[in-house]
Amino acid sequence: MPDLSFVFAQSLSGLTAAMFLFLIASGLSLIFGVLRVLNFAHGTFYMLGAYSAYQIVQWLGTGPVTFWVAALGAATGVALLGGIVERFLFQRLYGKEELYQLLFTYALVLILSDVARIIWGTQQKSVGRPPGLTGAVSVFGATIPDYNLFIILLGPAIALGFWYVLQRTRIGRFIRAAALDRETLGALGVNVRALYTGVFMLASFLGGLGGALISPMRAIVPGMDTEVIVEAFVVVVIGGLGSFWGTFLGALIYGQVLSFGILFFPRFSIFSIFALMAAVLIVRPWGLLGRPLK
Amino acid sequence: MKRLGSRWPVLVLIAAFFVPALGSRYYTFLANDVVIWALFATSLNLLVGYTGLVSFGHAAYFGIGAYTTGLLMKKAGVPFLLAFPAAGLLAGLFAVVFGFFCVRLTRIYFAMLTLAFAQIVWAICFKWNEVTGGEQGMPEIPYPDFAWLERVASAVPWLGGYRTSEYFYFLTLLMVGGCLWLLRRIVGSPFGRMLTTIRENPERAEFIGVNVRRYELGAFVIAGAFAGLAGGLFGIFNRGVFPDFAYWTKSSEVLIMTLLGGMGSFFGPALGALVLLWLNQQIVSYTQYWPLILGTILVVLLFVFPGGIAGAALGLGRRLMRGAARA
């Protein structure tokens, strides 16, 4: 029986990973829920968020709020890029075969990650932790960095904010309606095209924010996009494509399985994640909290 | 005209045998690569183009085939003639198991589950150090034994003097030629025609009493087995087997080839493999940013030529014929 504080520390590290993945996967899930497209480029938006945050920090130098300005700036930049891509390219593929939509998002992966390589090179980049969050606290005998704690708290805060927007606001009602029946929504006079662009931008914003926020914890390198997109896929598939709380649950499960899988099967924790995903798909193709597609 | 129409694949095959005679090691290498990917892409097209199942995990079977042949030839010293069919067999067996679950899902969920299984295969190859060599892969896969062939060939005046890699190219041509012939027969059989019916209207096929899932599973297994054979050849050609053979980006590369050539025709994907690999070889000598170019090609394809090269050529041909008829 391992030491309890060790188990606790391990589950906290799993929780940190989970909240990050939730941030990224929620955008992926939102796009799937409304636009019915699996966006391979979402991981690339995340990578661009990380690189942009690094760049803005370089420009601004160190200051008490630099990091936060950089994170929001990077996410906004990525959201604008997402909006342009949706408005001028992606919109023409609606109604075409899924394969074409999937491959278009894959083309974006190829193009954007090479553009990132041209701008930032292949050397790994890093961003320091924001001032005020550089220390660590001790919780039940487990030491946890302040920044991780911040992420653990931020995850649920974003989830609640998201939930509030979706459930309680006019825009949220439109988004939910678009996910259920876009034709009727259009017939009611809602500008579905603009709504789609907005949803795409919001999702891109979340992806970019995820990348910016992970930059103090992980090295920023080419290839971080293809790695994370598969992780985010697993999360949304386990939770249920397009289901908001499902994504949250999927991220929690992913974080814990990964974190404890490393303890018990050091070599096969990646394997256990994919096996879990396959098992969920076999039993409930629409995921734990998802709804079957019509 | 009709005669040429059905004979040209044979003519292409015969012409391909003369590539090493050009004397360029580089062209033989490129041709060998193309031939193997052509088989890989054609096997995928059985699923995507003929049955309408978009698999995002076809690299799994390619990887399984490569590791099977690689392990058998390198670690067990099994001769190629046994190790090669074993690649198809094992890939096919995995396709039975994975496919059993995959074909119960539709559209996007099918694509996701194929991806999940492929990632499982990749994770095993990546982590199972003792058997697969893990992250480092398995270098130095031996070529099949051509000693006897070299002895025979050197006795005949103008046949000798080829290198082992060139003999392997001839062998690849024969094997892939045979596989493509088989696949062509499968596509043209009642089974193959039923796959097209299923693609066009699965509900109707179900309604007239066809067991749609069983046909889809059949297509899945055949496609997996031939992808395995392609992988078996690729491991030897590549002189090593590595986990990224089964990584999801490989699955999308082969999808792009299939789409580029044209999913609507049997030889379209092979043509896609030729064009894409040739372009790759041309472009990487000028710039290291091949993915950027590939992505751009893909965008142009999707927006301008969704039917691929074969589709565009057919469309052009039809327009010319109509013009000729009017004149």
Whether the CB of A288 is below 8 Å from some CB of chain B: the reply is: no
If pLDDT is split at 50, 70 and 90, which confidence band does B1 have? very low
Task: Tell me whether residues B120 and A106 touch, CB distance under 8 A.
Answer: no
Task: Quick: pLDDT tens for A276-293.
Answer: 888 887 888 777 887 776
Whether the CB of A274 is below 8 Å from some CB of chain B: the reply is: yes
* CB-CB contact of B68 with B205 (8 Å): no
* CB-CB contact of B118 with B248 (8 Å): yes
- List residues bridging with A125 in a β-sheet: A220
Phi, psi at B159, each rounded to 5°: -95, -25
Task: Tell me whether residues A110 and B292 touch, CB distance under 8 A.
Answer: yes
- Residues in B touching A234 (Cβ below 8 Å): 116
Across A140-144, A207-211, A232-236, B35-39, least confident range: A140-144
Comparing CB atoms, the residue among B117, B248, B291 nearest residue A230 is B248
Q: Say if residue B4's pLDDT is above 60.
A: no
Closest listed residue to residue B221, CA positions, set B241, B198, B195: B195
- Segment holding A136, helix H or strand E: strand A136-139
Residue appearing with tokens 């024969």: B174
Whether the CB of A209 is below 8 Å from some CB of chain B: the reply is: no
Q: Say if residue B82's pLDDT is above 60.
A: yes
The alpha-carbon gap from A275 to the nearest alpha carbon of chain B, in Å, equals 7
Cβ pairs A/B, distance under 8 A: 113
The pLDDT, as a whole number, for residue B46 is 92
Q: Which amino acid is at A83?
A: G
Across A47-51, A169-173, B13-17, least confident range: B13-17
What is the share, in percent, of chain B residues with pLDDT greater than 90?
22
Task: Quick: pLDDT tens for A175-190.
Answer: 888 777 777 777 777 7
- The two tokens of residue A279 are 């098992």
**Structure-derived torsion over alpha carbons of residues B150, B155, B159, B160, reported in degrees to the nearest 10:** 50
Cα A251 from Cα A15, distance rounded (Å): 9
Task: Quick: pLDDT tens for A53-96.
Answer: 999 988 888 777 888 998 999 999 999 999 999 988 888 888 77
Q: Say if residue A268's pLDDT is above 80.
A: no
State the best of B298, B300, B301, B305 to mutate against chain A, taking most chain A CBs within 10 Å: B298
Mean pLDDT across B29-43: 92
Mean pLDDT across B211-233: 92
Report pTM.
0.84
Q: Could you tell me which residue, B49 or B140, shows the higher pLDDT?
A: B49
Whether the CB of A278 is below 8 Å from some CB of chain B: the reply is: yes
Could you tell me how far CA B114 lies from the centroid of its own chain? Answer: 17
Q: Could you tell me which residue, A196 or A271, shows the higher pLDDT?
A: A196
